Structure 1
Amino acid sequence: MTFRLAAYAVCIDAGRVLLVHHRATGHWTLPGGGVEHGEDPIETPVRELLEETGYRGAVERLLGVDSRIIPGAERLQPGPEHQNVGIYYRVSITGGDLRAEPDPEIVAAAWVPVDDVANLRRSSLVAIGLGLNEHTPADGHVAPVPIGGLVEH
Structure 2
Amino acid sequence: MSPSFATRPAAYAVIVRDQEILLAYWSENGEEGWTMPGGGLDHGEHPVDGAIREVFEETGYQVVIERPLGVDVFAPSAPIDGQLRQSIRFLYQATVTGGELTAEQNGSTTHAAWIPLAQVPSLNRVPLVDAALRIWREKPQSGKLASQPEDQ
TM-score of the superposed pair, with normalisation by structure 2:
0.87
Q: Identify the residue that residue 114 of structure 2 maps to in structure 1.
A: 111
Contact 1:17 1:111 in 2 (8 A): yes
Once the two structures are superposed, residues 23-42 of structure 1 have per-residue CA deviations (whole angstroms, 9 ceiling, x without a partner) of 21211100111111111111
SS at match of 2:129: helix
RMSD between aligned residues: 1.8
Q: Deviation of residue 124 (structure 1)?
A: 1.1
Greater Cα radius of gyration, structure 1 or 2 = 2
Residues 55, 22 of structure 1: CA spacing in aligned structure 2 closer, same or farther, 3 A cutoff?
same
CA contact (8 A) 1:23 1:105 kept: yes
Equivalenced residues, count:
144
Q: Map Cα deviations across residues 36-56 of structure 1 (whole Å, 9 max, x no partner).
A: 111111111110000000000
8 Å contact kept, 1:72–1:78: no
The answer to whether residue 31 in structure 2 is matched with residue 28 in structure 1 is no
In structure 1, which of residues 2, 6, 14 is the aligned counterpart of residue 18 of structure 2? 14
Match of 1:5 in 2: 9
Deviations 1:75-121 (A, max 9, x none): xx664332111100001000000011012521110001111111111
The CA distance in 2 between the partners of 1:145 and 1:100, in whole Å, is: 33
TM superposition outliers: structure 1 runs of 4+ over 2 Å: 77-81, 143-146
Q: TM-score, normalised by structure 1?
A: 0.87
Q: Is the 8 A contact 1:11 1:93 kept in 2?
A: yes
Secondary structure of the corresponding residue to residue 42 of structure 1: helix
For residues 89-128 of structure 1, the aligned pairs below 5 Å read 89-128=92-131
Gaps of 5+ in 2: none
Alignment of 1:12-91 (within 5 A): 12-24=16-28, 25-72=31-78, 79-91=82-94
